[in-house]
Amino acid sequence: MTLPRRRILFLSAILLLLVVLSLGFRWDLRRRIDDLEALMVSHAEVVSDIIAEANLHGLRTYQEWQNEFAARLLDDARWLAWMSASEKHDPERLAFLARGLDLQRILILDRNGGTVATYPSPEANEGFPVTFLKDLCEGTAQQTVLGIGGRTAGAGASFVVGVHRDEGGAVVVDGKADDLVAVRREIGPGHLLKSIGEERSVRYVIIQDETGIQASTLADISLPVPAEDPFLAPLAGGEPWVAREYRSAAGPVFEVAQVVGLYGGDAVLRVGLDAEPLVVMRADIRRRTVMRAGVLAASLVLLGALLLAWQRQGVLDHEVARVRAELEARQEETRRLGHLAAMGSLASGVAHQIRNPLNSIHMIAQRLGRMPELDEDVRTHAGHIRVESSRIEGIVQDFLDFARPRQPVLEKTDLAALVRDTVAIQAAAHAPKGAVITAYAPGMTAVVDPGFVREILENLIRNAVEAAGAEAKVLVSLIGDAGNAEIVVEDNGPGVSEEDRGRIFDLYYTTRPEGTGLGLSLVARMVADMGGTLELSGSPGLDGRGARFVVRLPRQADDTGRKERDHVGPTPDSGS
């Protein structure tokens, strides 16, 4: 993977992590705010439950007290009905009984509803419901509790009950109900609303039904009835509560409304809480979340920068190691080329000194072979001398060629076609020996000397076949990138021993008795003259064994490098 691609993937991973963390922080922020709002709703529900529960218990207590009070009045009325059947209905007697029984009024009626006797005066008996008196007088109802029926003239609140008389008619009495009314006022929701409304966290508490506002901690307020208020509409659909947040003249308000049961029936309880703490805490949560996200983002950016720096340092170290290895290879190549130059100069001088006597020996042997008067054995030996002198002449010529190498002529070449053609020729040439030589060379061009490349391949293939022996297998591969082309020649032979690896490219060094030690030296020089390198790979060749030679050539011309190498090597005149 290339460095830009790795950077893109790394930055993408950082961005993805930031997005995931942002979503996580957003979710956490929303959760915290929801928890705060739920806490406000819970607070309002607690207030509502307190009011409803207190009203329920107060109503039960009040109802028990009222039932006891009504039962006492009914007993008094029955006693008066019993007495009225045997005693004269004297007003003074009724007044005495009223004071003794703590009654505000006593009314005795006949079966037709007419007044038989009354206390305190007949005018005070007006205002009773007709059905109330009629049912009692006719005996349809034996007793009836009218309840708190307002105020008796000149007295306080009264509680009215009536009983039927056995002889027909009714007895109606009023008990003093001021204490009962006061208790209802104390245990009713109004007093509790006033106490709760004094809390600093509560803006208002309102109880309203379809007839209007029944109780409120606010003195001046106007609200639509529940059926006409859109905010309360979900309650009619069965929702247990509704909530909203709005800003009033006094500040932010968080209102919760729910239906509660009061002594007068179902009503809507609206609790408005001071939302300023919610606003402050919400802003604080947002600020803290943004700060944490900022710190985390900065940490990730710093970490990313450190990782990029570490990656760049790793790439730099890799490049330094690569340049150092290349420099060491160049130094080794320079040393070898210097050695080859010195040996080449020596070889050139020796070859010149040997060539003239060798020519004389060759000519003498040729003349001896043509003299018929000599014995057959002599002429045969003279022919052997001529053949061997010719072979020595070839070796001398190789020395001279090595001492005076020609310069490469670089041109843009279809390197793949050149490799395939050379391998095909060598495969045909070595087929009689049982050697199998194949090529893998996809399309590739390079600026090289075609003749040099052909000679390099011929030498390497020949060495591979000779090293592998019978059933030799040789594979020539062409690979590379935009900068370099690599020609890999590998075989299934015995390979190169560790002690020979460091000297295999030295001049005159050979591991075969019949070798001259010039082949790989010439190959290394030709590769170097084209600006490339030749190395014996540390990896094994075919079948996990054998040698693997790598020829690395630049795909573009490198005139500067070639001139430097020409300066190191011998000149054409160095051997003369």
Instruction: Return d(Cα 189, Cα 209) in angstroms, integer.
Output: 14
| The token pair that represents 529 in the structure block | 């003259």
The β-bridge relationship of strands 445-448 and 170-176 is: unpaired
Q: What residue type is assigned to position 233 of the chain?
A: A
Q: What residue type is assigned to position 561 of the chain?
A: G
95 within 8 A of 120, measured Cβ to Cβ: yes
pLDDT for position 305: 81
Per-residue pLDDT in tens (0 to 9) along the chain, 576 residues: 555 666 677 677 777 777 777 777 677 777 777 777 777 777 777 777 777 666 666 667 777 888 888 899 999 999 988 888 777 777 788 888 888 888 888 888 888 888 888 888 666 556 666 567 788 888 888 998 887 765 554 556 788 899 999 888 899 988 888 877 777 666 655 566 666 666 777 888 888 888 777 777 776 777 888 888 899 899 888 888 888 888 888 888 888 888 887 655 788 888 888 888 878 877 887 788 788 778 877 887 887 788 778 878 888 888 888 888 888 877 776 776 676 666 666 666 666 677 778 778 878 878 887 888 878 888 788 888 878 888 777 777 766 666 666 788 899 999 999 999 999 999 988 888 888 999 998 888 999 999 999 999 998 998 889 888 878 899 999 998 888 999 999 998 888 887 777 777 776 666 665 555 667 878 888 898 898 988 888 888 888 888 899 999 998 865 544 443 443 333 333 333
Instruction: Return d(Cα 95, Cα 106) in angstroms, integer.
Output: 8
**Residue 481, phi then psi, degrees to nearest 5:** -135, -160
Under DSSP, the state recorded for 203 is E
Instruction: Return d(Cα 458, Cα 460) in angstroms, integer.
Output: 6
Q: Which of 37, 38, 47 is nearest to 201 (CA)?
A: 47
Residue 440 forms beta bridges with which residues? 477
| The token pair that represents 221 in the structure block | 């307020």
Q: How many CB atoms lie within 10 A of CB 70?
A: 19
499 within 8 A of 417, measured Cβ to Cβ: no
Q: Which of 209, 205, 221 is nearest to 255 (CA)?
A: 205
435 within 8 A of 465, measured Cβ to Cβ: yes
| CATH number for the domain whose boundaries are 1-220+240-274 | 3.30.450.20
* Residue whose entry in the numeric block shows the structure tokens 């000519």: 363
Burial 75-91 (b: 16+ CB within 10 A, else e): ebbbebbeebeeeebee
Instruction: Return d(Cα 115, Cα 222) in angstroms, integer.
Output: 48
Sheet of 202-209, strands arranged across: 212-216, 202-209, 265-274, 251-262, 242-248
CATH 3.30.450.20 maps onto the chain at 1-220+240-274
Q: What is the DSSP annotation of 6-21?
A: HHHHHHHHHHHHHHHH
Half-sphere exposure of 81 (CA within 13 A, CB side): 26
406-568 classified as CATH 3.40.50.10170: no
Instruction: Return d(Cα 169, Cα 565) in angstroms, integer.
Output: 146
pLDDT for position 418: 93
Q: What residue type is assigned to position 555 of the chain?
A: R
Give, in degrees to the nearest 5, the angle at Cα 510 between 507 and 514: 120
| The token pair that represents 253 in the structure block | 């308000």
CATH 3.30.565.10 maps onto the chain at 406-568
Instruction: Return d(Cα 473, Cα 465) in angstroms, integer.
Output: 7
Burial 300-315 (b: 16+ CB within 10 A, else e): eeeebeeeeeeeeeee
